[in-house]
């Protein structure tokens, strides 16, 4: 059809001067360019059809008609273009006519005029641009459709894939629940034959092993103390630590272990005496409400242990100082009181209590020790 239209537009009448001029369609270059234009038009039609199908337009009716008339439209377009080129396709003969044509047009090659060549070249270039644009659009649409399909497949795969918690517990997907359905239905709650999670089973096995080891160690081999024994050991350890701490601070002294301290401790005890004792015993220990502390008479014993005990616990009207001073401080205070023996304070108070001599006490204690030794020998 396309070639018939082309030949029809290029038919010329027979003139009296002679045979018609040779047609440009006999030129191989013209035939090749025309064929190339037709091929490009077919490619444009195919790509347009693919683009319309991929884009999925809503104008389906128009698209169907467009698909049917693609070839016809392509043929009509090329025929029209060839018709526009027809006046310059023809070649004339004769001296005058040839001279006139030579003056108006320039042949490019083998009888093709310059205008015809550039027009056909422009058409081919335009068709190439259209083909390139259609290829770019088709590629973009195909890429979008591919990404959409991949996204859908990924969503389906993700939906069917179990997460790490389900995998860890070896849960089955919902699609496989029919395989483990026991057929018991309680108000819409189906009973499934699911295995216990591995973490629960392993935890249960570990408790069994731990219980066996505990039973053997604590109740069979007795290689470790029970709870009550651990409490007793902890209390004893704590008491020992307290003693060590008090020993470092010098607080382990009491009425049974106290001894006479040195000069520095006596000076410290003097400050305690002047702070708490001068009200009842006057400065220097001469006595006021309380007894004289410088003579040989004592109400509650005159040795260092008795003085320490009297200061710590008090007696009758005398207050107890154990909540005010530590044992170390009471020992320093008792040592200062003992150091006042034999001094001459101003206005000393009359003696009170029983006579106590340091040398006699030492002699008596030595005699008692010898007596006990002799009794033991007998």
Local confidence band at 127 (pLDDT 50, 70, 90 cut-offs): confident
| Whole-angstrom distance, CA of residue 233 vs CA of residue 237 | 6
Angle subtended at Cα 340 by Cα 339 and Cα 342, rounded to the nearest 5 degrees: 105
pTM of the model: 0.36
| Whole-angstrom distance, CA of residue 223 vs CA of residue 217 | 6
Decide: helix, strand or coil at residue 23: coil
Q: What is the mean pLDDT of the chain?
A: 74
Q: Which residue has the higher pLDDT, 286 or 22?
A: 286
Residue pLDDT, tens place only, 46-85:
877 777 776 654 445 444 555 555 545 555 555 555 555 4
| Whole-angstrom distance, CA of residue 333 vs CA of residue 329 | 6
Average pLDDT of span 331-350: 88
Per-residue confidence (pLDDT) for residue 219, from 0 to 100: 92
Domains of the chain (ranges; CATH) run 2-95+102-157 (no CATH), 263-362 (1.10.760.10)
| Structural contact between residues 174 and 192, judged by C-beta atoms closer than 8 angstroms | no
Angle subtended at Cα 344 by Cα 339 and Cα 349, rounded to the nearest 5 degrees: 100
Distant-in-sequence, close-in-space partners of 320: CB < 8 Å, separation ≥ 6:
312, 313, 314
| Structural contact between residues 292 and 352, judged by C-beta atoms closer than 8 angstroms | yes
Angle subtended at Cα 315 by Cα 314 and Cα 316, rounded to the nearest 5 degrees: 130
How many Cα atoms are found within 13 Å in the side-chain-facing hemisphere of 203? 5
| Structural contact between residues 283 and 292, judged by C-beta atoms closer than 8 angstroms | no
Between 177-191, 193-207, 262-276, the lowest mean confidence (pLDDT) is in 177-191
């Amino acid at each position: 059809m396309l070639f018939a239209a082309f030949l029809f537009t290029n038919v010329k009448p027979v003139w009296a001067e002679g045979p018609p001029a040779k047609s440009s369609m006999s030129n191989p270059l013209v035939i090749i360019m025309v064929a190339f234009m037709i091929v490009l038009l077919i490619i444009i039609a195919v790509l347009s059809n693919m683009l319309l199908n991929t884009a999925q337009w809503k104008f389906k009716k128009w698209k169907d008609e467009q698909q049917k008339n693609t070839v016809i439209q392509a043929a009509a377009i090329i025929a029209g273009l060839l018709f526009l080129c027809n006046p310059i396709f023809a070649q004339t003969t004769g001296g005058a006519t040839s001279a006139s044509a030579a003056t108006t047009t320039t042949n490019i090659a083998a009888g093709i005029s310059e205008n015809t060549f550039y027009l056909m070249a422009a058409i081919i270039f335009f068709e190439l641009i259209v083909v390139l644009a259609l290829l770019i659009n088709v590629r973009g649409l195909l890429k979008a459709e591919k990404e959409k399909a991949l996204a859908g497949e990924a969503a389906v795969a993700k939906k069917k894939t179990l997460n790490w918690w389900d995998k860890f517990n070896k849960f089955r997907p919902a699609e496989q629940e029919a395989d483990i359905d026991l057929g018991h239905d309680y108000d819409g709650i189906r009973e499934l034959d699911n295995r216990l999670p591995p973490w629960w089973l392993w935890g249960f096995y570990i408790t069994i092993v731990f219980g066996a080891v505990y039973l053997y160690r604590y109740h069979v081999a007795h290689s470790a103390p029970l709870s009550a024994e651990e409490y007793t050991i902890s209390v004893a350890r704590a008491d020992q630590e307290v003693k060590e701490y008090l020993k470092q601070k010098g607080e382990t002294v009491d009425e049974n272990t106290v001894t006479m301290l040195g000069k520095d401790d006596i000076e410290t005890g003097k400050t305690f005496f002047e702070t708490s004792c001068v009200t009842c015993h006057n400065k220097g220990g001469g006595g006021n409400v309380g007894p004289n502390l410088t003579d040989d008479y004592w109400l509650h014993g005159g040795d260092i242990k008795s003085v320490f005990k009297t200061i710590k616990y008090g007696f009758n009207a005398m207050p107890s100082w154990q909540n005010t001073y530590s044992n170390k401080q009471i020992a320093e205070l008792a040592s200062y009181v003992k150091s006042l023996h034999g001094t001459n304070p101003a206005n000393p108070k009359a003696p009170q209590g029983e006579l106590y001599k340091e040398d006699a006490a030492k002699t008596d204690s030595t005699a008692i020790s010898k007596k006990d030794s002799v009794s033991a020998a007998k």
